[in-house]
Chains A and B, each alone.
Chain A
Amino acid sequence: MTRYGHKTSKRMLFAYCMLGGGIFLFTPPSVTGKLQLAYARVFRGPLETGHDITLAGRIPLAANTVDSADYTRLMTIQRRLRNHVANLQAQLDEAHRQIDTLAGLRSVPELNRMKLQPAGIINDPGETQTILLVNRGQKDGLAAGQFVIGDYSVIGVVSDVSAQTARVKLITDPTSKLPVRIARIEAKGVMRGRGPGEAVIPEIYAKNPPKVGDQVYGHKTPGFPGVPIVTAEVVESKRSPDNARVWEITVRPVCDIANLPEIHVVIPGK
């Protein structure tokens, strides 16, 4: 018996596929983002294992002269302590200011009123990425806009959430904006991401010049803990040609995001 078959030509096949690609390209990110989160949810196990292996593989990088495991452990502790000290210092300054202005009012550590939800990273953050995928989602109380803390410093904001996974937009992402304060020079501005490992605070008004290494703290925003938390440090500052007191400051995160084992999401209203 003769079998009548219909074979699509290469050109038609190519045209159909290109059309499909074009549809994906112009589909809203909220829809395509769900597809990406679904992929992360389905392959959560292997992706988590891969992240652990990647972290383990990077350990010898840091160690040159001492035992690599010890070196990495000590470096992590040192980094956390440095950020913790910076936070405590800022909290102390804030407390002094509050005591001076509102004599007698008791300050409550805001972080105690918030729940910190630990979450594991399931993609390889690397140094060039500005997005993290984490293994916690709506079921764990995560919602878009919540702040994310790594090594006691603010590293980003939850941008998309599915039932079991979420996407974190790092402070270095070009679409990220975070009100910040440089404590030493008492200057406030908005920090914007500028791609891998870098962010910028454009047009910040400051009487005193900022210095390399100055700590940058997250400033009061809805959902942000009421206490200052360090987020970045100054790496470069340029004076505006029009106004001597206006600066453009380049900063970098104080947290080694590429080697973070886990993060904490700040969930308000414990």
Chain B
Amino acid sequence: MRWFRFAVLIVVATILQTSFLGAVWVVSPNITPNLLLILLVFFAIHSESNDAVIASFVIGFAADLASPAAGLMGPRIISFGLFGTLLSTLQDVISLRRLPLQGLAIFVVGLLTSILSCLLAYIRPGPVAISAAREFFWQPVLSAFIGPFLSLPIAWLMRMDEKSRRRRRHRPRR
């Protein structure tokens, strides 16, 4: 895993998610794809198992950092970490590299992380504002449609595409 590239990608995605994505909307201005969710599924599918665990928790931390809920950190770290790790384990059994399967994985993981995040947020004292339709349906659906197409440029940026893998495999060892 190229960790510097990973860090830059996460920072850019977090900034885009926090402020820029409001300009890109399909159904309504408040329903936007979740870039961090797309990255979570991408790294869970494409990384080595230990790297996938670290990446999942780091992406969850970024999602909590950019969260609008005042001082609420932890729900996304736990939910992203848990489902990212589970997806990475599942990837060892079933290959999820085909684009439609990736879309399905994004939708399911998006739904599950939203539900777990909400449940964890309710553990904390004080009420929480949640738009259920947006969190549980629209955002995972939109991310599932866009995610598979973004996985190709992300794979190229992270040098995780097939061409780079093949080149690395055939590089002579010293």
Q: Do A and B bind each other?
A: yes
Q: Which of B34-42, B61-69, B95-103, B146-154 makes up part of the contact surface? A: B61-69
- Looking at the assembled complex, report how far the CB atom of A203 sits from the nearest CB atom of chain B, in whole angstroms: 18
Q: Are A130 and B129 in contact (CB under 8 A)?
A: yes
On whether A10 and B126 interact (CB within 8 A), knowing A123-B68, A196-B131, A258-B29, the answer reads: no
Chain A contacts for B78, CB-based, 8 A? 18, 21-22, 25
22 inter-chain pairs at a CB distance below 8 angstroms, sorted by A residue, are: A14-B81, A20-B77, A21-B74, A21-B77, A24-B73, A25-B77, A25-B123, A29-B70, A29-B126, A32-B71, A33-B71, A54-B19, A54-B23, A56-B23, A124-B20, A126-B29, A127-B30, A131-B68, A160-B71, A169-B70, A173-B70, A174-B129
Q: Are A14 and B85 in contact (CB under 8 A)?
A: yes
A interface residue numbers (CB < 8 A to B): 7-8, 10, 13-14, 17-18, 20-33, 35-36, 39, 43, 46-51, 53-54, 56-58, 61, 122-124, 126-131, 159-160, 167, 169, 172-175, 193, 195-196, 258
Chain A contacts for B65, CB-based, 8 A? 35-36, 39
Interface residues of B in 65-91 (CB under 8 A from A): 65-75, 77-78, 81-82, 85
On whether A14 and B19 interact (CB within 8 A), knowing A24-B73, A160-B70, the answer reads: no
Q: Are B19 and A46 in contact (CB under 8 A)?
A: yes
B interface residue numbers (CB < 8 A to A): 11, 14-16, 18-25, 29-30, 49-50, 53-54, 56-57, 60-61, 64-75, 77-78, 81-82, 85, 120, 123-124, 126-131, 134
Q: Are B69 and A131 in contact (CB under 8 A)?
A: yes
On whether A195 and B131 interact (CB within 8 A), knowing A17-B81, A50-B16, A50-B18, the answer reads: yes
Give the nearest-CB partner of A193 in chain B.
Answer: B129
Chain A contacts for B15, CB-based, 8 A? 43, 46-47, 50
Q: Are A128 and B131 in contact (CB under 8 A)?
A: yes
Other contacts beyond A129-B68, A160-B71: 18, CB < 8 A: A10-B85, A17-B77, A17-B81, A20-B57, A25-B74, A27-B74, A31-B71, A33-B70, A43-B18, A47-B18, A50-B20, A54-B19, A61-B29, A123-B19, A124-B21, A130-B129, A175-B127, A258-B29
Chain B contacts for A20, CB-based, 8 A? 57, 77
Our count of residue pairs bridging A and B at CB distance below 8 angstroms stands at 153
- In the assembly, what is the distance between CA of A167 and CA of B69, in Å? 10
Give the nearest-CB partner of A195 in chain B.
Answer: B129
Q: Are A124 and B18 in contact (CB under 8 A)?
A: yes
Q: Are A25 and B75 in contact (CB under 8 A)?
A: yes
Which 4 pairs show the lowest CB-CB distances between chains A and B? A29-B71, A50-B19, A25-B74, A57-B23
- Looking at the assembled complex, report how far the CB atom of A157 sits from the nearest CB atom of chain B, in whole angstroms: 12
Q: Are A174 and B73 in contact (CB under 8 A)?
A: no
Chain B contacts for A58, CB-based, 8 A? 22-23, 29
Chain A contacts for B49, CB-based, 8 A? 10
- In the assembly, what is the distance between CA of A175 and CA of B16, in Å? 28
